[in-house]
């Protein structure tokens, strides 16, 4: 079974998130269109101009004493480092061969979908950003649904090594006496400054259990755990689902957990939440098809994939899911139709003979439909 939701992670990816708040709908929509256009053009200057670095930095330091000299120095550091967010975003998304489009808006802010593709145009994954805009029409923040992190939280974590213990405690903990926990966070920040995500994850485990269960810490541990290994990542996803599984903003990130763990009923519940949060699009529909297929509700799964293709006829993940569905139900006609659809959508040619040798195709390779396809290819 294939899972179309891939995850994008880099040092600076931890900074590409958002906060929820009221936003002017028309202004927000215009900013979202400019944001998407700048991503598609890999226009670093345009992205830099869109980000209100001062507003972002101020949000990060909201818990600190406004008169603290350390806060002033920390703000200056954030303003300097965050000024490169647009350029870094452009470079990394360009390297991942991404495109962006505005997919909707709500009281929480406009939504932009990010699509990652291979060189041949086939889709490898998706993500969503929800934008928060200020009165001047610039981005104050955005929320990254794949990482399930706010920008302000991300910046606190990634620059935690820069503050003395007292100020660091104020940045992360209501209890200003939590110096032991603050010391751990400074060690986390030091590892992150060296791009040592695995080391930061191990340091994070030294926090008290009740702290690690808090949403921000549990989410950050989940993100860092990807650098440790798949087993650790899945353990952290399971822990996040257990402690914060009802959080609507986490459902996109938790969908991996439910699908990988074959918890398909839970996946459908998560997808209902994703629809309420992000809308009903081709990505949501294909994942619904995967969950329904896992429950052997084949007709509903096929309907979900077909609805996805009605929205985007070139969405090859929907076509590959139809292939898997045909293999699951030994429907050779569906397999052949979907494979030909993949070729048309991606502009590539599949080696059908080699594909038929795979064990998964044992149930269809000797059918008249598949034999006819192989014979047709052999004749060319």
Tens of pLDDT, residues 72-131: 888 888 777 777 777 887 887 888 888 899 988 767 888 899 888 877 777 788 899 999
CATH of domain 1-158: 3.10.450
Is the pLDDT at 20 greater than 50? The verdict is no
Q: What is the pLDDT of residue 10?
A: 29
| Mean pLDDT of all residues in 57-86 | 80
**CATH code 3.10.450 region(s) in the chain:** 1-158
CB atoms within 10 A of CB 194: 11
379 — pLDDT class (breaks 50, 70, 90): confident
Strand order in the sheet with 98-106: 98-106, 109-117, 123-133, 139-144
3-state class of 24 per DSSP? coil
* pTM of structure: 0.83
Is the pLDDT at 251 greater than 50? The verdict is yes
Q: What is the pLDDT of residue 27?
A: 57
What the block records as the tokens of 292 is 């329904």
Nearest in space to 32 (alpha carbons), one of 114, 127, 130? 130
Q: What is the pLDDT of residue 26?
A: 56
Place of tokens 């104020």: 170
For residues 190 and 202, give the distance between their C-alpha atoms in angstroms, rounded to a whole number: 12
3-state class of 357 per DSSP? coil
Is the pLDDT at 154 greater than 70? The verdict is yes
Is the pLDDT at 142 greater than 50? The verdict is yes
Q: How far is CA 139 from CA 25, 56, 349, in A?
A: 13, 9, 43
What the block records as the tokens of 145 is 């649904």
| Contact between 86 and 48 (Cβ < 8 Å) | yes
- Residue 304 region by backbone torsions, left for phi larger than 0, else alpha for psi between -120 and 50, else beta: alpha
Question: What element of type H or E holds 101?
Answer: strand 98-106
| Mean pLDDT of all residues in 129-143 | 88
- Residue 262 region by backbone torsions, left for phi larger than 0, else alpha for psi between -120 and 50, else beta: left
3-state class of 203 per DSSP? helix
- pLDDT tens for 221-237 read 999 999 999 999 999 99
Is the pLDDT at 311 greater than 90? The verdict is yes
**CATH code 1.25.40.10 region(s) in the chain:** 280-379
DSSP type of residue 249: G
Residues facing 117 on adjacent strands: 123
The stretches of 117-178 forming alpha helices (DSSP H) are 151-158, 165-172
- pLDDT tens for 252-310 read 999 989 999 999 999 999 999 999 988 899 999 999 999 999 999 999 999 999 999 99
2 — pLDDT class (breaks 50, 70, 90): very low
Q: Which CATH number fits domain 280-379: 1.20.1440.230, 1.10.1740.10, 1.10.3720.10, 1.25.40.10?
A: 1.25.40.10
């Amino acid at each position: 079974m294939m899972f179309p939701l891939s995850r994008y992670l880099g040092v600076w990816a931890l900074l590409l998130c958002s906060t929820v708040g009221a936003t002017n709908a028309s202004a927000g929509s215009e900013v979202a269109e400019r944001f998407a256009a700048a991503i598609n053009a890999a226009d670093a200057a345009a992205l830099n101009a869109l980000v209100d670095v001062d507003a972002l930095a101020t949000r990060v330091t909201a818990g600190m004493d406004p008169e603290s000299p350390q806060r002033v120095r920390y703000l200056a550091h954030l303003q300097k480092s965050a000024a490169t967010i647009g350029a870094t975003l452009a470079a990394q998304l360009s390297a991942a061969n991404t495109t962006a489009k505005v997919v909707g808006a709500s009281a929480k802010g406009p939504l932009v979908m990010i699509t990652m593709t291979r060189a041949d145009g086939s889709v490898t994954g998706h993500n969503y950003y929800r934008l928060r805009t200020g009165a001047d029409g610039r981005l104050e923040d955005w929320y990254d649904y794949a990482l399930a992190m706010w920008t302000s939280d991300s910046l606190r974590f990634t620059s935690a090594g820069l503050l003395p213990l007292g100020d660091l405690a104020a940045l992360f903990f209501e209890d200003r006496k939590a110096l032991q926990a603050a010391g751990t966070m400074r060690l986390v920040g030091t590892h992150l400054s060296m791009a040592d995500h695995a080391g930061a994850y191990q340091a994070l485990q030294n926090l008290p259990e009740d702290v690690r269960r808090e949403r921000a810490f549990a989410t950050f541990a989940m993100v860092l755990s990807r650098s440790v290994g798949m087993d650790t990542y899945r353990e952290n996803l399971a822990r996040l689902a257990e402690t914060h599984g009802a959080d609507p903003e986490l459902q996109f990130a938790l969908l991996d957990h439910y699908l990988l763990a074959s918890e398909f009923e839970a996946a459908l519940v998560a997808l209902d939440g994703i629809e309420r949060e992000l809308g009903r699009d081709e990505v949501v529909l294909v994942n619904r098809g995967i969950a329904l297929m896992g429950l052997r509700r084949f007709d509903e799964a096929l309907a979900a994939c077909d609805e996805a293709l009605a929205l985007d006829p070139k969405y090859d993940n929907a076509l590959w899911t139809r292939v898997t569905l045909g293999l699951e139900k030994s429907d050779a006609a569906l397999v052949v139709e979907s494979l030909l659809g993949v070729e048309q959508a991606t502009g590539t040619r599949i080696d059908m003979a080699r594909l038929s040798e795979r064990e998964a195709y044992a149930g269809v390779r000797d059918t008249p439909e598949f034999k006819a396809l192989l014979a047709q290819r052999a004749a060319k």
